[in-house]
Amino acid sequence: MWKIDLSDITEMQSTFDRLYEKNALLMSARPLPSMALHRIRKDLTIEWTYNSNSIEGNTLSLNETHLILQEGITVKGKSLREHFEVHNHEKAIEYLYEIVNENYTLRSIDILSLHGLVLRSIEDNFAGRIRNGGVRIVGANFVPPNANKVSQLLDELIDFVNENPLGLNDIVLSTIFHHRLVWIHPFFDGNGRTVRLAMNLLLMRKGFPPAIILKNDRKKYYEALNQANNGSYQKLALLMAQALERSLNIYLQALPCDEDDEYKEISSLVEEPRVPYGQEYISLLARQGKIDAYKEGRNWLTTRKAIEDYMKNRKRERVV
């Protein structure tokens, strides 16, 4: 087995517990109103498509991505490839929703099929086919394995995920799968988008919504992957958890909630008399995953209850 350092990840257990509690709450509230469910899924599909493509260099904005998918508009000044990348990613998401269920077992054919959809009409000669030559990744601290080893390494990774010999929770398991598939780099092109689709199969089969890595976190994302190449998964696991929590919160906001559970920008919360901390400190807690929070654009959102829960835990720690 490859080098896996999970020592830092054990410190994230409270974060994982919170995500599982939120997922249990979401599952207990199902079925959600069909109109709300349709709207959220449509919005997440657009966001997922925009962010994943943007990470790979697609220059279409979120609004332009929306217009292409919802209005069928062709954006002037943008390449045909960029338009195909948008439509293809949407089709790949539709395929993912079709195949995933609570009994889903990861299969190589599904990874190949997702890749085939991602590169359809862009690189048809390579779409859905494992690479047969060497590749290099600019800015990465590793060289992907020889093409002759790719099929075996992919099979070993799929067996690792399905057998889960380390007894990892679903979030950590999808994190390790995410990194390892990037490291194997099974295709000439389209690896990143395919990986970010495939890793969500492991989350969504457990009832989680998709985790969407944001374009604004692109630098942090690549740094986390480079750390994982050296065996440390803490940074990537934190990024995955934050992405997943954001999606969970979007779904949970469709449910009735108390005012204390309402997500607000940290800048507005610190103005309330019940919040004793400054904006910089609460933002640090959010970035470290120590409070219930999620990111919209460049702004962090959290709740009054999340801050009060953190304060209570601090008091308990002092007593102990």
Catalytic residue numbers, as ranges: 185
Q: What are 127-135's contacts with CB under 8 Å, separation 24+? A: 127/190, 129/187, 130/154, 130/186, 130/187, 131/185, 131/186, 131/187, 131/188, 133/188, 135/185, 135/188
CA distances from 269 to 15, 22, 211, 259, 260 (A): 21, 22, 26, 12, 11
| Helix (H), strand (E) counts: the chain | 13, 3
For residue 79, what are the contacts with CB-CB under 8 A and spacing of at least 6? none
DSSP state of 300: E
Rounded Cα distance between 217 and 298, Å, is 9
